[in-house]
Amino acid sequence: MAELGLQENEFKNPVVHWIDARLPVFTAMHKEYRQFPTPKNFNYFWNFGALATVNLAIMIITGIFLAMNYNPSTAGAFDSVERIMRDVNWGWMIRYLHVVGASLFFVTVYVHIFRGLYYGSYKKPREMIWMLGVVLLLLLMATAFMGYVLPWGQMSFWGATVITNLFGAIPVVGHGIVTWLWGGFAVANPTLNRFFSLHYLLPFIIVGFLVLHIMALHTVGSNNPLGIDVKGPQDTLPFHPYYTVKDSVGVCVYLIVFAILVFFIPHQPLLMDPNNSIQANPLQTPSDIVPEWYFLPFYAILRSVPNKLGGVVLLFGSIFVLFFLPWLDTSPVRSCRFRPIMRWLWVLFVIDVFVLGYVGANRPVGIFILLGRIATVWYYIHMLIFLPLVGKLERPLPLPESISKSVLGGGALPSAAAARPMEKA
């Protein structure tokens, strides 16, 4: 078979066989999505990577069709979106899919991230997967922000004004950068044009980084709810059909939620701010400028600092600190199931982010100023103090001997045998 440098393969279909001998895509798919040994103890939190991928596909497809009818100019943008809603066949549905999809994208990604935090998925050897994930998060945020500007409603315009002005806090070059971002003296037609261009480009950059994210995952293998290493074939299942089916169950539930939001409550204020149904007016600021819900925690951090540059630094720092998470967390135990202190700190951290989101949705007066400051400080204390310190002080619970034993009811070893698991790792 291996004549003339052709790739050997065992596909029976002659066409598949012929192609694979010259371009082994079928072998690659077989290896990565059929055989790929996957820990047999995944819970449903492991669905969310697949859900985010499905969401990305939905956003790209609906976005391509929206772009067919969208007019990226300050004179025509708002009207063209209204035309999509009223005149274009099914335009209302395609736009609602895109709007709801934006919110659900962040839901899936945030669950995916907090799952990684709880089960220590960022730790060795998965640092690269994690850091690529942070890059994906930043790209997603940039894409979502620029997409929100495109309908050219009041929130589009004033959100763009506030966010681009953040860069004005940078010493010396700030004003130059802001003018450069705008392509003028304020958020205006050149800004809208470039945001449309970049909003169309970035999803494909995201696809590229997603491929790297998955390549890194398939190099070192998946983490699992126990956080212990796979010790052999008895601990794993082939990805297909076991996890394709499990992911399909999740996708069905997720599509049902998606459909309910699109067809019954697309105008829920969390999904669509009513102010954005008013055309952008550079001479009138809405009484409350609130970003979309998925930016609220970061917005709260920004506003809790009484200094412009300080607020901007803490805002961006709250995401950039994630790059260093694999080294900030000093515990060798991955899963918080076996970390009696960190699991509660994780719960508090989740609550903290929700508090930040709640604060971000309210005007910075009275109790919300204090609450925002406490929550911001807690965020950084968790990242910079708890993660390094608790890893050293905490005494983890005994780890199970293997995934297989744990799944089949073998249970954990007696605590004596598992003593000092930190030294074993």
Partner 1 sequence: MASSSEAATANSEGHAAEGAERRDFLKMVTLATAAVGVCAVAWPFIDSMNPAKDTIAAGSPIDVDLSQVAPGQQIVVLWREKPILLVNRPAEALKTLQSSAMINRLRDPDSRVLQQPPYADNWHRSVKPEWAVLVGICTHLGCLPQYFPNPSANTPVADWPGGYLCPCHGSKYDLAGRVWQGVPAPFNLPVPPYNFLDARTVRIGENPPNVTYSLNDIVQI
Q: Which residues bind partner 1 (CB under 8 A)?
A: 61, 65, 68-69, 83, 86-91, 93-94, 408
Taking the least distance from each CB to partner 1, the nearer of 65 and 110 is 65
The distance of closest approach from Cβ of residue 362 to partner 1 in the complex, given in angstroms and rounded to an integer, is: 39
HEC-encoded secondary structure of 84-147: HHHCCCCHHHHHHHHHHHHHHHHHHHHHHHHHHHHCCCCCCCCHHHHHHHHHHHHHHHHHHHHH
The distance of closest approach from Cβ of residue 243 to partner 1 in the complex, given in angstroms and rounded to an integer, is: 16
Taking the least distance from each CB to partner 1, the nearer of 91 and 120 is 91
Taking the least distance from each CB to partner 1, the nearer of 80 and 108 is 80
Taking a C-beta distance cutoff of 8 angstroms, is the pair 262, 337 a contact? no
Taking the least distance from each CB to partner 1, the nearer of 90 and 320 is 90
Taking a C-beta distance cutoff of 8 angstroms, is the pair 265, 271 a contact? yes
240: annotated active-site residue: no
Catalytic residue among 235, 247, 273, 352: 247
The distance of closest approach from Cβ of residue 176 to partner 1 in the complex, given in angstroms and rounded to an integer, is: 42
Taking the least distance from each CB to partner 1, the nearer of 86 and 392 is 86
The two structure tokens encoding residue 343:
């699991």
The rounded distance, in Å, linking the Cα atoms of 46 and 243 is 9
30: annotated active-site residue: no
Residues 6+ apart with CB under 8 A from 153: 78, 273, 275, 276, 277, 278, 279, 280
Catalytic residue among 30, 73, 82, 218: 218
Crossing angle of helices 174-182 and 154-166, in 10° steps, is 150
Rounded (5°) CA angle 19-24-26: 80
Residues 6+ apart with CB under 8 A from 333: 120, 227, 339, 396, 399, 421, 422, 425
Catalytic residue among 40, 98, 199, 246: 246
Catalytic residue among 20, 235, 292, 329: 292
The distance of closest approach from Cβ of residue 21 to partner 1 in the complex, given in angstroms and rounded to an integer, is: 28
The distance of closest approach from Cβ of residue 90 to partner 1 in the complex, given in angstroms and rounded to an integer, is: 4
**3-class state of residue 34 by DSSP:** helix
Residue 38: in which H helix or E strand, if any?
strand 37-39
Taking the least distance from each CB to partner 1, the nearer of 376 and 404 is 404
Catalytic residue among 103, 156, 222, 304: 222
DSSP at 323 = G
The distance of closest approach from Cβ of residue 211 to partner 1 in the complex, given in angstroms and rounded to an integer, is: 24
197: annotated active-site residue: no
292: annotated active-site residue: yes
Residues 6+ apart with CB under 8 A from 55: 101, 104, 105, 108
246: annotated active-site residue: yes
Q: Return the active site residues.
A: 218, 222, 246-247, 292
